[in-house]
């Protein structure tokens, strides 16, 4: 089947794209190191692998804080406002249909998943820094909370729960990208080239 030639628009700035890949890379490293450390539990390399996990965690912390700031001072498509579409969410919930209008910038429904993912990342950073302080006496929280015996108790379960939520988001994100690719919509490429490929049909909203 022939798809109409898409029109391209430069939408996502280089810092936003760099942060996207930095976050993806650090999360993959965090998942890999956590699973390796558990596989080598009580072995001679367990501590080294947890230290790598913590280092990758600092990377995620810095990338997330930068993204937070870029969402406030960055260009329109990087702003938090570009991910906030309560009226579209309400309409979709009422009609049980996805919006038919495509907009320049983040997709309104996908934005809900991105906000959820950023929330989970924030949870992982806070609980991870808590675990680093309580179990390894390292990291920015160690000075204040390194000896707090309750810290491990309150951070361990949420950190594990957040891990499961993160895997859920990654599965959903990958499935959505494959879905769009199969429909001939070039969505994944946007985070490489910065260009959004808007189809030639009418109904593209600029806000
Ligand atoms: C998306 C991000 C992250 C994922 C997917 C992740 C994953 C995990 C998993 C699966 C565990 C093992 C939990 C258990 O079975 O008890 C763990 C433990 C841990 N994580 Fe993370 N983590 C993330 C972020 C972070 C961050 C940002 C830090 C700190 C900078 C951190 C530091 C730790 C520490 C110190 C432990 C405990 C190690 C131990 O039990 O000895 N994590 N993480």
pLDDT of amino acid 82: 96
pTM (global) more than 0.85: yes
> In 139-167, which positions are buried (b, 16+ CB within 10 angstroms) versus exposed (e)?
bebeeebbeeeebeeebeeebeebbebbe
Q: So what's the pLDDT on residue 200?
A: 47
Give the whole-angstrom CA distance, residue 157 versus residue 18. Answer: 31
Tell me the C-alpha to C-alpha distance, in Å, between residue 115 and each of 80, 111, 119, 122. Answer: 9, 6, 6, 11
In angstroms, what is the span from residue 77 Cα to ligand 1's centroid? 31
Distances (CA, A) of 174 to 42, 52, 154: 34, 26, 31
Position in ligand 1 atom list of the atom nearest CA 167: 5
Q: Is the distance from CB of 4 to CB of 199 less than 8 angstroms? A: yes
**How many CB atoms neighbour CB 19 within 10 A?**
20
What pLDDT, on a 0 to 100 scale, did the predictor assign at position 185?
86
Which mutation among 33, 39, 57 tests ligand 1's pocket best, with the greatest number of atoms within 8 A of CB? Answer: 57
CA-nearest residue, atom 21 of ligand 1: 128
Q: What pLDDT was estimated at residue 3? A: 53
What pLDDT is stored for residue 202 in this prediction? Answer: 45
Ligand 1 atom nearest the C-alpha of 136 is 35
Ligand 1 centroid–CA 158 distance in Å is 10
Token output for 92: 């979709």
134, 163, 168, 171, best to mutate for ligand 1 pocket (most atoms within 8 Å of CB): 163
Q: Residue 147: what pLDDT?
A: 84
In tens digits, the chain (207 residues) has pLDDT values of: 455 556 788 899 999 999 999 999 999 999 999 999 999 999 999 999 999 999 999 999 999 999 999 999 999 999 999 999 999 999 999 999 988 777 888 999 999 999 999 999 999 999 999 999 999 999 999 999 978 889 999 999 999 999 999 999 999 999 999 999 998 888 889 999 999 887 644 445 555
Answer yes or no: are the C-beta atoms of 188 and 85 closer than 8 Å: no
Q: Domain 8-199 carries which CATH code?
A: 1.20.950.20
CA of 29 to the centre of ligand 1 (A): 11
Residue 169 confidence (pLDDT)? 98
Ligand 1: residue whose CA is nearest its atom 10 = 34
Q: Where do the domains of the chain lie?
A: 8-199
pLDDT at 172: 97
**What residue ranges line ligand 1, CB within 6 angstroms?**
27, 30-31, 34, 50, 53-54, 57-58, 60-61, 121, 124-125, 128-129, 131-132, 135-136, 156, 159-160, 163, 166
CA of 34 to the centre of ligand 1 (A): 6
């Amino acid at each position: 089947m022939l798809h109409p030639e898409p029109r391209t628009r430069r939408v996502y700035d280089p810092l936003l794209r760099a942060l996207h890949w930095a976050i993806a890379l650090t999360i993959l490293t965090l998942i890999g190191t956590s699973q390796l450390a558990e596989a080598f539990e009580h072995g001679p390399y367990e501590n080294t692998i947890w230290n790598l996990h913590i280092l990758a965690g600092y990377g995620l912390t810095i990338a997330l804080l930068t993204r937070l700031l870029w969402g406030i001072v960055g260009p329109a498509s990087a702003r938090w406002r570009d991910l906030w579409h309560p009226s579209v969410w309400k309409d979709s919930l009422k009609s049980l249909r996805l919006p038919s209008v495509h907009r320049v910038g983040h997709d309104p429904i996908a934005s809900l998943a991105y906000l959820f993912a950023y929330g989970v990342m924030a949870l992982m950073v806070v609980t991870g820094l808590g675990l680093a302080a309580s179990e390894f006496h390292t990291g920015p929280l160690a000075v204040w909370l390194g000896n707090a015996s309750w810290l491990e108790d309150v951070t361990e379960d949420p950190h594990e729960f957040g891990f499961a939520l993160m895997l859920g988001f990654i599965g959903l994100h990958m499935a959505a990208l494959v879905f769009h690719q199969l429909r001939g919509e070039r969505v994944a490429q946007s985070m490489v080239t910065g260009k959004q490929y808007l189809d030639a049909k009418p109904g593209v909203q600029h806000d």
